[in-house]
Amino acid sequence: MPSTTQTRLGCEIRAYRIRHNMNQGQFGNLCGVTRATVHRWESEAVRPSVGAMVRLSEILGEPLAVLFDKAGKSAV
């Protein structure tokens, strides 16, 4: 069961994507992942990898530590 912090990241990814008129495949291309991976992030089935978190930080314009908090991981 996903935590509340994971829910926040999945919702944020989806909101950004919709705000920028992108489908999951387009956002996946921007992130360097598949459409299926974006779907799993948004549905909270999986958390983004550390490498994906770095890219999401750049795309979403949020500090990496904030995204780690939203994903329920501790920033190192």
pLDDT by residue (tens digit) across 42-69?
998 999 999 999 999 999 999 999 888 8
pLDDT at position 72? 78
Of the candidates 53, 49, 51, which has an alpha carbon nearest to the alpha carbon of residue 13?
A: 53
Give the pTM. 0.82
For CA atoms 12, 73, 37, 27, the dihedral sign is positive
Q: Is the pLDDT of residue 4 over 60?
A: no
Domains and CATH numbers, the chain: 4-71 (1.10.260.40)
Of the candidates 54, 51, 59, which has an alpha carbon nearest to the alpha carbon of residue 12?
A: 59
pLDDT at position 44? 86
Instruction: State the Cα–Cα distance between residues 70 and 15, nearest whole angstrom.
Output: 14
Class of residue 71 by CB neighbours under 10 A (exposed 0-12, middle 13-18, buried 19+) = buried
